[in-house]
C-alpha cells in the first residue's frame, strides 16, 4: 500500500499559487503540465489508496503502523508530504537571479513607530492560541495526513512568493493562511511599484512542521520551541534578509526591502489578519493567521 501511496504522492499536489495572467508560452505549458486539476486528481488517488488501507478491512495495516518504530513512521509520513521535483522543474516562476543586484536605489520608507523587534513582538501564546483555533491537528502519522488533507493547500513558487528549499518543514497551509501569504506577497510587489518600481518577491523559509521536525530543529536552534504554531499549518516565515530578484533593472537595498515588507505586514496585523514576531536569529517575520 505504501508503495502505491509514495508513487502517487510524487506527482501530487493540493493547491497552487500559480497565476493564469502570464501570456508566455512557457508559462502556458507549465500550467498545463502541472495544472491544479491534475494535481488534485493525483492527490485524491493517493488519498484513496491510503484510505483503503485504513478501512476496517485494513485495520491490521493501521495497527502495524502504530507498532512501527517512530523513525519509520515519520519517514512514511514525510514521503507523503515532501516537495516533488517534477512540478518545480516545470514552474516558470522558479527562474530568478541568484542574488539582489548591487547599488540599490533608496526609496521612501514609512516609520512604524519603533524598532521592528518592538513593533512585531506578539507572544508565542497568542500565536499558539489562534493556531489551535484555526489550524489542523499536528501530524504524527499517515492516518492524520489522510484525515486532515482536505483542510490543506500545497504551496508552490508563484508571482506572489518564492518557496525556499525547505529543510525542517513541508509546504502546506490551511487556506486562510495561504490567502494571507499571497496577499502579503502581492501587496509587497504593489508597494514596490508605487515607489518607483523593482521586481522582487518575498521568500518563504518555513511552513508546516511535524512534531518530529520540531524536535530535530531544536537540536540546531535553541530558539525553536516544542509547542510551535508551525504544527498547525497556520504559520509561515518570510525572510527579511533575502528577497528574490526577478530583474536587476531597478536595484533596491536590503534594508529598504526589509522595512517595506514590515510596512505590509504591519498593515495586515492592524487589520487583525495575523500575529507577527520579528525573529532575529532566523532573520524572518514569523506570521500566524488569525
Question: Residue 139 pLDDT > 80, yes or no?
Answer: yes
Q: DSSP states of 98-163 as a string?
A: SSPPSSPBP------SS-HHHHSB--HHHHHHHHHHHSPPP--SHHHHHHHGGG-EE----SSEEE
What is the percent of the chain with per-residue pLDDT over 70, rounded to a whole number? 70
Per residue in 231-270, pLDDT (tens digit) is 999 999 999 999 999 988 899 999 999 999 999 999 999 9
Question: Residue 274 pLDDT > 70, yes or no?
Answer: yes
pLDDT averaged over every residue in the chain: 78
Question: Residue 57 pLDDT > 90, yes or no?
Answer: no
CB neighbours (10 Å) of residue 162? 22
Per residue in 140-191, pLDDT (tens digit) is 887 888 889 899 999 999 999 999 998 889 999 999 999 999 999 999 999 9
Pairing of strands 153-154, 172-173: antiparallel
The DSSP secondary-structure symbol of 170 reads: B
Question: Residue 102 pLDDT > 60, yes or no?
Answer: yes
**Paired residues of 278 in beta bridges:** 285
Structurally, how many domains does the chain consist of? 1
What's residue 155's pLDDT?
Answer: 95
Amino acid at each position: 500500500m505504501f508503495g502505491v501511496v509514495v508513487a502517487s504522492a510524487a506527482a501530487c499536489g493540493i493547491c497552487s499559487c500559480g497565476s493564469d495572467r502570464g501570456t508566455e508560452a512557457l508559462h502556458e505549458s507549465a500550467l498545463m503540465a502541472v495544472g491544479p486539476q491534475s494535481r488534485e486528481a493525483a492527490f485524491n488517488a493517493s488519498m484513496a489508496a491510503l484510505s483503503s488501507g485504513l478501512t476496517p478491512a485494513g485495520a491490521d495495516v493501521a495497527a502495524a503502523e502504530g507498532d512501527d518504530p517512530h523513525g519509520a513512521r515519520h519517514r512514511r509520513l514525510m514521503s507523503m508530504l515532501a516537495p516533488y521535483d517534477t512540478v518545480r522543474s516545470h514552474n516558470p516562476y522558479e527562474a530568478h537571479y541568484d542574488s539582489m543586484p548591487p547599488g540599490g536605489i533608496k526609496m521612501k520608507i514609512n516609520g512604524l513607530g519603533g524598532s521592528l523587534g518592538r513593533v512585531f513582538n506578539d507572544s508565542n501564546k497568542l500565536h499558539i492560541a489562534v493556531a489551535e483555533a484555526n489550524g489542523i491537528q499536528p501530524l504524527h502519522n499517515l492516518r492524520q495526513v489522510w484525515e486532515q488533507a482536505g483542510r490543506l493547500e500545497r504551496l508552490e513558487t508563484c508571482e506572489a512568493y518564492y518557496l525556499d528549499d525547505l529543510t525542517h518543514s513541508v509546504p502546506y497551509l490551511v487556506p486562510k493562511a495561504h490567502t494571507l501569504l499571497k496577499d502579503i506577497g502581492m501587496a509587497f510587489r504593489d508597494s514596490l511599484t508605487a515607489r518607483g518600481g523593482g521586481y522582487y518577491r518575498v521568500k518563504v523559509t518555513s511552513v508546516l512542521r511535524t512534531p518530529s521536525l520540531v524536535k530535530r530543529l531544536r537540536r540546531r536552534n535553541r530558539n525553536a520551541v516544542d509547542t510551535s504554531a508551525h504544527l498547525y499549518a497556520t504559520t509561515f516565515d518570510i525572510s527579511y534578509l533575502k528577497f528574490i530578484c526577478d530583474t536587476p533593472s531597478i536595484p533596491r537595498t536590503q534594508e529598504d526591502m526589509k522595512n517595506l515588507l514590515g510596512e505590509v505586514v504591519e498593515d495586515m496585523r492592524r487589520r487583525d489578519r495575523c500575529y507577527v514576531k520579528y525573529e532575529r536569529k532566523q532573520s524572518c517575520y514569523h506570521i500566524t493567521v488569525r
